[in-house]
Chains A and B, each alone.
Chain A
Amino acid sequence: MTKVSLVHKEIDKETATSLLGFWVYMMTDCIMFASLFAVFIVLKNNIADGRNGAELFSLPFVLTQTLILLTSSFTSGLAMLAAQRTKLKDTFIWLGITGVLGASFLALEVNEFVNLDHSGSSWRISGFLSSYFTLVGTHGLHIMVGLLWLVGILVYMYKKGLNETSVKRLTMFSIFWHFLDVVWIFIFSVVYLLGVN
């Protein structure tokens, strides 16, 4: 019981330093995404006789993706809360749900990319499509890395249970996942919602 309060209320200095370091990494990641956004906004209208956003994007499809990712961000937070209270079973359940939702999001995105490519709108067609695939693809790549990391944490927790290391890793993962959702909100708004107009 003393360990629980130790984990929840007073994390040790080393963990705090790691978390701050991870936060700073997340900030640099945000700057990278910002530059990709800048490229997309600049190239948005250069469709080079290809199709534009209004012809390519489906609003119900992108809303489904957004709701899936938003829910998974919420459940990753719940997994972290459960871990801080050393509830192993709850942590497994919420982290599992996060993983399933993340995987379905990624599946939808890969499906969209393949459909775009097959319908003659690959990244080679125009500046608009190149920047679109780079921006959204980089986000998808992050989601994929996040999913691998999630599996790693699940395996670690299965073997070692909930100790300070697993709580630390889970906290970092949930920061990562929340930021991916924040980046997606802007992709949803700038690329899709403003793209169909």
Chain B
Amino acid sequence: MENSMYRSKAFKAYSTGFVLSLVFTLVAWGIVNRHVTNEHQPYSHLFIHILVLSLAILQLVVQLIFFLHLGREKKPRWNLQALLATILVIIILVIGSIWIMNNLNYSMMNTVPSQEDRPF
């Protein structure tokens, strides 16, 4: 009974989440570090972006499941519903802003001489 906490299912869930998060963090960091320190820059710009963002999203999902126990909620799952609505708002907000502002930069290119216009 004394040690029950460290043998419980919940403790295992936390440890799994912690280890997975560590792995995702270190992989993302390791690839970027290798890319930056290597003179030849072995990876493409696009590859780094996709890899780093996918690992971040994977880690978000892992932490939602193992740290915030999102899957073990009883119906009607208000927490999950609020989260999904929030994710929708965030996607519209972030992607919309990037889209509009890049278009604006593009349209202004003839008037502003030194505008670095790299997407994202």
Judged by DSSP, the binding face of A is helix
- A165-197 contacts to B (CB < 8 Å): 175, 178, 181-182, 185-186, 188-190, 193-194, 196-197
B118 touching A178 by the CB < 8 A rule? no
- Kindly supply a per-residue 1/0 record for chain B positions 52-81, scoring 1 wherever the CB is within 8 Å of any chain A CB and 0 otherwise: 110110011001100110000000001100
Q: How far is the CB of A139 from chain B (nearest CB, A)?
A: 15
B93 touching A70 by the CB < 8 A rule? no
Q: How many residues does chain B have at the interface if contact means C-beta atoms less than 8 Å apart?
A: 46
A138 at the interface (CB under 8 A from B): no
The one of B21, B67, B82, B93 that contacts A38, using a Cβ cutoff of 8 Å: B93
The one of B29, B68, B118 that contacts A193, using a Cβ cutoff of 8 Å: B29
Question: Are A188 and B25 CB-contacts (below 8 A) given A82-B5, A178-B63, A196-B36?
Answer: yes
Q: How far is the CB of B42 from chain A (nearest CB, A)?
A: 12
B98 touching A42 by the CB < 8 A rule? yes
Q: How far is the CB of B103 from chain A (nearest CB, A)?
A: 11
Q: Look across to chain A and name the residue whose beta carbon is closest to the beta carbon of B68.
A: A178
Q: How many residues does chain A have at the interface if contact means C-beta atoms less than 8 Å apart?
A: 43
A155 CA / B84 CA spacing, docked (Å)? 36
A31 CA / B85 CA spacing, docked (Å)? 11
A196 CA / B59 CA spacing, docked (Å)? 21
Residues of A within 8 A of B101 (CB): 42
Residues of B within 8 A of A34 (CB): 89-90, 93-94
A38 touching B97 by the CB < 8 A rule? yes
Residues of A within 8 A of B22 (CB): 67, 70
Give residues in A with beta carbon < 8 Å to B: 20, 23-24, 27, 30-31, 34-35, 37-39, 41-42, 45, 54, 59, 63, 66-67, 70-71, 73-74, 77-78, 81-82, 85, 87, 90, 175, 178, 181-182, 185-186, 188-190, 193-194, 196-197
